[in-house]
Structure 1
Amino acid sequence: MVQVYPPAVVPPVRALRARPLSSRRLPVALVVLLAIATLNANGVPLPEIGMFGAYIVVGVTLPGMLWWRALSGTPRSPVVDVAAGTALGYALEVLTYIPARWLDVPQAYLAGAGVTYLLFCAVPSLRRHWPARGESVRAPLGWSWAMAGLVGFAILYSAATFFRSHGLTWPGNGAPYVDMPYHLAMAGDVKHHMPAMFANVAGEALHDHWFVYADLAATSWATGLELQTLLFRLSPIPMIAVFTVLIAVVAHRLSGRWWAGVAAVIIMTLAAAPHPYGWTGAVVPSGGGGTLPWLSPTQTFGALLFVPLMLVLIDLVRHPGGRHGRWVLVAVLMLAEVGAKATFLPLTLAGATLVLTVHLIVHRKVHRAAAVLTGLCSVLVAFAQIVVFQGEDKGLRFSPLHIMRWHEAGLGPDAGLLLPGQDESPVLLLLVVTIFVVSWAAIWGGAAGLLHRRKWVRDPAVVLLAGVGVAGTGAACVFGHPGLSQGYFLMSAAPYLTILATAGLTATLPQKRPWLVVLPALAAGAAATWAVRSWVATARPQGGDVVAERMIPYALLVGVPAVVALVLVLAGRRGLTWCAVPVFALGCALYSGGVLRLSPLGSTAEPKQTTDPERPHVPDGGVTAARWLRQHTSPDALVAVNAHCRAPAGSCDNRHFWISAYAERRILVEGWGYINGANSRAALMGKPGMGAVPFEDPQRLADNDAAFRDPTTETVGRLRDTYGVRWLFADDRYPVRTAELGRVAALKFRAGHCWVYELTDPR
């Protein structure tokens, strides 16, 4: 029996009359103009924007697009060619930069693009991939405009949130989100060294997902742009745009409906776990965040590479025969994913294993493509853990329901179920788990519609994405981390759960005029959430039962669709129940997401600042002094600093990275947050927290600080002779005796609070 899947393609769209608004290039052009205007308004000069754009087109997109066309064998589509080709181009860029940097000829990686152009000009079988001929799929004009609007929204949202709190000059860059200097420091080390090390603690190998830093370093070498400009402004924008478009393409490829792709992106962007109690932030994590693409570039880069991989795998598991070039794409994308983000390859392995298992049960034979994919994933996962991460677990531990227990305890009077001094209760934990399940079902409950029709359940592409979604959700629930980083498994799987949800709705909604069901149900869900929130805000009991206060709003939101479902079943409209109830719940999630992100714009999505605005983390003169040091020293120079904590006084948050970030030099000891073993030593429940773990080599730290607090020939000489330090960088907000230090070291530069000294060899 031949299994028939939902169509992967639609007939070509009939050519429209030559009118300005009918061109599919116009939406792209407007988005590009919007991006240029937004970047320029936020401190990036037009020549730098032009240099970056030219590099992305010539060095990333075109080479990747040519190889994608040659190897994919999928129906030709301009949208897929450009978007997936760009993602593939990033993978090729990183995989060529690493050996080039290792050989100490970093710009030689550009030869990869040159070889691509040469091959596709000289080889007749490859030359035919230059023109966009043989197009069998063209996106409808409305889809193009909708995607342009969604990408444009992402750009404007970035400007209203991240750009506003992360400037390119001081004091705008004086109080960045805690992880941004870390990412900048690691990119600086990958720019100048291979193998890479933790720049903030000399001698610590970088056993982490660091391939996005290779992209930043490669782009900086090719364009001459500052790493800060790339990280804070330029590099994430094409990644966000490509990721957004490809999610819509995957949703279309799975369901055969163009509108499903637009719906998937809207849900992924705006939906959030319902929080009718009126909390100011999302209590239940729902897999995304408005500023996440900027705050976690490793997650953004890993997600970017994962979408074209899923696109190829959908074709492979549905149609195992065909072009062998698809396996080349799988190998390249998975190899790049090895060091991009640790969460994605295990999710791929879970999806492939589920396809293999289900196919074996249903058809009583082995799915060959799934078997090969499972073996390849297993090898690469082992390679990543043994070679790339060297067994480093970053503090991830088996701790079932840790994320639920953390939210049960809460962060304040409006967050958790426990009162101060109250012990954890199994009943309360069960209630929190229930809230999580209900909240996730509100966003992704539409996936249940796939069970309504047997052909969808047997579709290996659906099984593949279900394996990814279940594995991501399960990992977030069974593992624990001191910084709740197990949530990245959920973030990685969330887009594919969203795609399953939209595919489930396409399987159950009426074929004719589906909006007659969708619009009323969405409006009813939003209205119900608004009503419950308003009622709780005015009628919440004071000093009453905390559990009842937290549970009643959720019970009301669950009760309404339950009543609707019962009425529909009694009325003989069971088919309508499969879509009306999930769409109602989705209306609750979309309303909640709108409250979080758009009312007012960005007010609750901005990264939390952990420093006093009047006393910024990066001091006046800090960036200037660090860049002077970069300009006047060798990349191999070792520097000692006197600042290790994010604040000069109070408890020590050891995530201090800005000196190594802007100097692009390795530091003997700066902040030791995130180094190998630091998170592993942190207790899961924050005793101590991620930023409070003591340094593992107290003698080195004592020798380092003695040179600043008691500068003598002996203390300073110990840094020079024992550790190889040649430069000292002092922030006078921290303990330092600058006058005495100037007698035993040569003051070379001073700016604001920062002093730079050189240690000379007395011999």
Structure 2
Amino acid sequence: MRRPEAGRWVAAAIGLIVYLGCARALSAAGVDTWTIVRSTAYWTLALVLPGWLVFRTAVGPSVSWLAEACLGACTGLGLELLFWMLFSLAGQQQLVRYWPLLTLLVLVRAPWRTRLRQKPTGRMPLPWLIALAAAALVLVRVEFLRFLNFYGTPYEGRSMYPDMQWHMGLAAEATRSFPLMIPQAITAGDLRYHWFVDAHVAIESLTTGTSVQLILAQLYLLPLALLIVGMSAVLAHVLSGRAWAGGLAGVLACATTTPTLWPNVYQSLSAYIAASPTQLFALPLTFFTIVTITLLLRRTQPWSRASAGYWLIFALSAFAICGAKASAPPTLLGGALTALAAAIVMRRWPLARVAAVIAVVMGIVTIIAVKFVSGGDSASGVQFLAALSRSQLYDVLIGYPEGYSDKTLVIPGLFNPWVLTGVIVFEFWRLAGLLATGFVFCRVLRRKPEAWLIAGCAAAAIMGFLLVRQPGLSELYFIRGLAPLGGVMVAWLLAAHLPAPKGDGRAARFVAPLVWVIMLLIGAVVAVRMVNLNGVPPPDTVEGMHEVIRQALLITVGGSPRSRRSPRSHPGPADAPNRTPPGCPSRSRPRPWPGCWPVPCWPHR
């Protein structure tokens, strides 16, 4: 049955509500309306639309309009980097603003124009669109309080997270040179760092005229965060063929934290680390690459002329992920190799040849990334569970720095009964999201190479986290970079075991009420947590509990709690060194405790 016209308008209205929520958050953080309009036009006309033209021409219609928009945005991110490099080699970076006009060439051929007029093959059910929008608005609210409103615009004199200044320098460098130099030390030679997000910021600045400082301080965050949610939904929809599974995966992807039962081991493994632009830029492109690999693995004739567009989009996704984040190419390589091994074990030789080519491409991308555009691996080494040594409890049980050495293959004291119990019990919960990909061993999924692809990516991420030791705790990005993947696998497993619906999503109606209950609980927890972030002390009386509930309700509906500080009351650079957020140990301590600051205490470049 075709969706009524009213349903289409309701779906468009839901998207408009999410956009207005983002615009309201930016406006409340100090961004003027004209800047928001320019940024909206940039993402719509210079990324999503030209990317959609290329993706639709190469691959054809996707599973929903949401998928069309998200896949178009990811394609646009890859294309703008490619054209920026070409224009930069000619010394004409300012011409990059005109690259979307080149995509109009797809209108030349009549078969391509016909493909553009086709409609998506499915749609997202309206209840799941509403749930997805509600979860996205909760995410926007959290990011507003954690980052946008906390730091404000770069012109208000507030202290800024140090890594953001590094990225601002790189983005400014990308507006005028290629290959990039280190702006803080021009005599150090070419930059060896995953700088693609800085090039993206430079392109937006050259296109809209907005300063790179304002883009990195405010504008870059929300579009990429919502793209992570959208690509999670798209990946689950593509894998399962069920639209409601995509909605469920998108809702699960909005979780902004993971269980933190082991006391202060390290900060939460959230995918939305606003102070790490590379993390937010790499995750949707990682899922984009997984989608393109999945489409190739499912092609019945992968070497035919009709499949050339699929290979083209896969090559573009591999190029975009190469310099997005140092931890991304190795995890994708692990997934590609696992899919290849599964195809060989199952003796599916045509599929194995496709998987072999994909694995070779990802291997080349990983080598190039390590050689030229990786970074953050300074002083890295191998040590099992090195991240555990950053915990306050580890210091109490084992001692820091007494008795600690970063030269051993296993952290000292791991086999202490209390430490070992904590690792066995609590680390399971911390890694539960990625461990959910172990559902690949179920009978329904274990014959699917794309399931092994996802499980291999998760295994590579977990191994990177467990084995790599990096002074800045950058090993956390192996699992932060794939955090929503467990939700995707859970949604796919549910879709695989539920009976086939007569109409899209009808057999899974029992899931929707459960999701709404979970969403209400998450909203309540987020609201109470935001009250705590705004300086309300923990209640010790019934009246105190009532006050926390009142403040939480005000935050949930968008009000301003009485205890919230005015944006103008933030200390400026002069007194920033003495600033300590409520509930955190003093900065005079010899070693900061991760998890205390509104953004990570450790470098996240």
Deviation at 1:320, TM superposition (A): 5.2
Pair 1:160–1:651, CA change in 2 (3 A): closer
The correspondence of residues 166-205 of structure 1 with structure 2, limited to 5 A, is: 166-168=151-153, 170=155, 172-204=156-188, 205=190
User: 1:600 corresponds to which residue?
Assistant: 529
2-side partners of 1:602 and 1:21: how far apart? Answer: 37
Deviation at 1:74, TM superposition (A): 5.4
User: 2:423 corresponds to which residue?
Assistant: 433
Deviation at 1:276, TM superposition (A): 5.0
In the alignment, structure 1 residue 120 sits paired with structure 2 residue 117: no
2-side partners of 1:243 and 1:517: how far apart? Answer: 22
Pair 1:66–1:518, CA change in 2 (3 A): closer
Q: 1:209 aligns with which of 180, 185, 194?
A: 194
User: 2:34 corresponds to which residue?
Assistant: 47
Deviation at 1:231, TM superposition (A): 1.1
Q: When the two structures are superposed, what TM-score results if normalisation uses the length of structure 2?
A: 0.78
In the alignment, structure 1 residue 465 sits paired with structure 2 residue 454: yes
SS in 2 for 1:128: helix
User: 1:261 corresponds to which residue?
Assistant: 246
User: 1:746 corresponds to which residue?
Assistant: none
Deviation at 1:249, TM superposition (A): 1.3
The correspondence of residues 44-443 of structure 1 with structure 2, limited to 5 A, is: 44-73=31-60, 75=62, 77-117=64-104, 119-131=105-117, 133-168=118-153, 170=155, 172-204=156-188, 205-270=190-255, 272-276=257-261, 283=265, 287-288=269-270, 292=273, 294-319=274-299, 321-322=301-302, 323-363=307-347, 365=349, 367-389=352-374, 393-407=377-391, 410=394, 417-418=397-398, 424-428=413-417, 429-440=419-430, 442-443=432-433
Q: Deviations over 1:106-128 (max 9, x none)?
A: 122234211211x1233323333
Q: Deviations over 1:619-644 (max 9, x none)?
A: 89xxxxxxxxxxxxxxxxxxxxxxxx
Contact 2:78–2:317 (Cα < 8 Å) also in 1: yes
Matched AA of 1:86: A
Contact 1:287–1:492 (Cα < 8 Å) also in 2: no
Matched AA of 1:49: I
Contact 2:51–2:79 (Cα < 8 Å) also in 1: yes
Pair 1:21–1:76, CA change in 2 (3 A): closer
Pair 1:340–1:603, CA change in 2 (3 A): farther
1-side partners of 2:70 and 2:512: how far apart? Answer: 30
The correspondence of residues 458-607 of structure 1 with structure 2, limited to 5 A, is: 458-507=447-496, 597-601=526-530, 603=532
Contact 1:403–1:484 (Cα < 8 Å) also in 2: yes
Structure 1 residues 318-327 or 159-168, which shifts more?
Answer: 318-327
Matched AA of 1:310: I
SS in 1 for 2:349: coil
Pair 1:22–1:441, CA change in 2 (3 A): same
Pair 1:605–1:21, CA change in 2 (3 A): farther
2-side partners of 1:142 and 1:382: how far apart? Answer: 44
Structure 1 residues 458-467 or 65-74, which shifts more?
Answer: 65-74
Pair 1:441–1:239, CA change in 2 (3 A): closer
Deviation at 1:266, TM superposition (A): 3.1
Pair 1:521–1:326, CA change in 2 (3 A): closer
Contact 1:84–1:246 (Cα < 8 Å) also in 2: yes
Deviation at 1:188, TM superposition (A): 1.3
Matched AA of 2:330: P
Q: Deviations over 1:477-500 (max 9, x none)?
A: 011100110110111122223312
Structure 1 residues 149-158 or 401-410, which shifts more?
Answer: 401-410
User: 2:540 corresponds to which residue?
Assistant: none
Contact 2:279–2:325 (Cα < 8 Å) also in 1: yes
User: 1:662 corresponds to which residue?
Assistant: none
2-side partners of 1:49 and 1:125: how far apart? Answer: 37
Structure 1 residues 259-268 or 207-216, which shifts more?
Answer: 259-268
SS in 1 for 2:186: coil
State the aligned residue count. 533
User: 1:737 corresponds to which residue?
Assistant: none
1-side partners of 2:28 and 2:285: how far apart? Answer: 30
Deviation at 1:169, TM superposition (A): 5.0
SS in 2 for 1:206: coil
Contact 1:596–1:604 (Cα < 8 Å) also in 2: no
Larger of the two Rg values belongs to structure:
1
Deviation at 1:33, TM superposition (A): 2.2
Pair 1:37–1:260, CA change in 2 (3 A): same
1-side partners of 2:524 and 2:19: how far apart? Answer: 29
Deviation at 1:432, TM superposition (A): 3.4
Contact 2:437–2:454 (Cα < 8 Å) also in 1: no
1-side partners of 2:135 and 2:215: how far apart? Answer: 22
Structure 1 residues 248-257 or 418-427, which shifts more?
Answer: 418-427
Deviation at 1:196, TM superposition (A): 1.3
Pair 1:650–1:182, CA change in 2 (3 A): farther
Pair 1:213–1:517, CA change in 2 (3 A): closer
Matched AA of 2:422: V
Deviation at 1:341, TM superposition (A): 1.0
SS in 1 for 2:416: helix
User: 2:14 corresponds to which residue?
Assistant: 27
SS in 2 for 1:426: coil
The percent identity for this pair of structures is 24
Contact 1:174–1:619 (Cα < 8 Å) also in 2: no
Deviation at 1:372, TM superposition (A): 0.4
Deviation at 1:55, TM superposition (A): 1.9
Q: Deviations over 1:417-467 (max 9, x none)?
A: 446768725134422331344214654565455534x23111111111000
Unaligned runs of 5+ in 2: 404-411, 501-505, 536-568, 577-586, 593-600
Pair 1:186–1:195, CA change in 2 (3 A): same
Deviation at 1:44, TM superposition (A): 1.6
